[in-house]
Amino acid sequence: MDKAIIIGVYHFLGFHIGQVLLNKGIEVKGVHIPEADGTYVDEKRLEVGRNANFKEYTFEGILDGTDNDRTMIFPIYDFFMLQQESIILNEQFTQKFLTYFNKHKCNLKILLLLPIQLLKGIGSKEIHEFINKVNKVSNRLQLIYLPTIYGPWQPSTFMFQQVILASILNTEVFHSEREWMDDALFIDDVAESILDIIESEKSGTYLLESGKDMYWDTCAEYLKIKERYRKSKNEEKLQIDGEIKRIIPTRITPISSSLSKQMEHTKWLYQNLSSDRY
């Protein structure tokens, strides 16, 4: 792979994957969707904008382009966690996406990054319908399901980031019903594993996991998250379909190192940028 399109390039997962690709010399077209904006867009734009291999587009700008042999990466995971899927997966967007795909289907590979919650039937009908439609028209499709992902730039909808912010700003902590509390992975480890899956060029469905029991809880203990915010250990475990390829990242960064990076980055943001933008 030497070219990629990332939809939602300034969201959490999309941004980190974009950085990994750019660091490897891969040309990235980043699609910014203002209606479903992430946080700190200007700061993220400065980070990647210096790279000659990066160019920002609107979704309409991508539709009008002529791309050959390019991988399209769509982190639906990001939009799900921010409850923005209805903004981007409406009928108009889906139709435009499928039209674009049919125009380039001989050369276009599609990667959908999805929350593991969908495997449990959780999630809006827009997401499930979109996946089904893409699955019907593409034979070069990779689906990757993900648990909680943490690291620098993690949105405050996640509890790890809320607890870190609470230690700085004395804010309240709450539990999002959309957060997966069985497992967790560090964003750097996830991004490298996603790149490996893309480069394998093997279509199919994958699940990235830590391979450790109740790893979200282990991270929560490190952050001293109170018991009342954690998942009950008596809840039924998710049953994974045998056709889904379960993958443990080659590298699992120690919690002390990975969460320290997130905490240090968040403190830097607070010290250098306006705190009302969290």
Among 161-170, 195-204, 226-235, the least confident range: 226-235
Predicted confidence at residue 137, as pLDDT, reads 79
The share of the chain scoring above pLDDT 90, in percent, equals 54
- pLDDT category, 176, cuts 50, 70, 90? confident
| Residue 212 binned pLDDT confidence (cut-offs 50, 70, 90) | very high
Q: What is the pTM of this model?
A: 0.92
Q: Are 37 and 14 in contact (CB under 8 A)?
A: no
Burial class (CB within 10 angstroms; exposed 0-12, middle 13-18, buried 19+) of 248: middle
Which H helix or E strand runs over 109? strand 109-115
What six digits make up the tokens of 251? 């590298």
- Name residues whose C-beta falls within 8 Å of residue 150's C-beta, 6 or more positions apart in sequence: 158, 160, 161, 184, 185, 186, 187, 219, 258, 259, 262
Cα(56)–Cα(61) distance, integer angstroms = 9
Which pLDDT belongs to residue 278?
46
Place 236 in a pLDDT band, splitting at 50, 70 and 90.
Answer: low
Phi, psi of 153 (to 5 degrees): 75, 10
DSSP assignment of the chain: --EEEEETTTSHHHHHHHHHHHHTT-EEEEEP-GGG--SSHHHHHHHHHT-TTEEEE-HHHHHTS---S-EEEE-HHHHHHTT-HHHHSSHHHHHHHHHHHHHHTTT-EEEEEEEGGGGGT-S-HHHHHHHHHHHHH-SSEEEEEE-EEESTT--TTSHHHHHHHHHHH-------TT---S-EEEHHHHHHHHHHHHHHT--EEEEE--SSTTHHHHHHHHTT--GGGSPPTTSPPPPPPTTSEEE--S----HHHHHHHHHHHHHHHHHHS-GGG-
Burial of 211 (0-12, 13-18, 19+ CB in 10 A): exposed
What is the average per-residue pLDDT within 47-56?
Answer: 92
Q: What percent of the chain has pLDDT over 70?
A: 92
pLDDT digit string, tens, across residues 81-126: 999 888 888 888 888 888 888 777 667 889 999 999 999 887 778 8
pLDDT tens for 114-169 read 999 999 887 778 888 898 888 887 878 999 999 999 999 999 999 999 999 999 88
Integer Cα distance of 90 and 85 in angstroms: 8
Burial readout 154-188 (b: 16 or more C-beta within 10 A, e: otherwise):
bbbebbbbbbbbeeeeeeeeeeeeebbbbbbbbbb
pLDDT at 234 over 50: no
Q: CB-side exposure of 45: number of CA atoms within 13 Å?
A: 11
Token digits for 126?
Answer: 């827009």
| pLDDT at position 274 over 70 | no
How many whole angstroms separate alpha carbon 46 and alpha carbon 57?
15
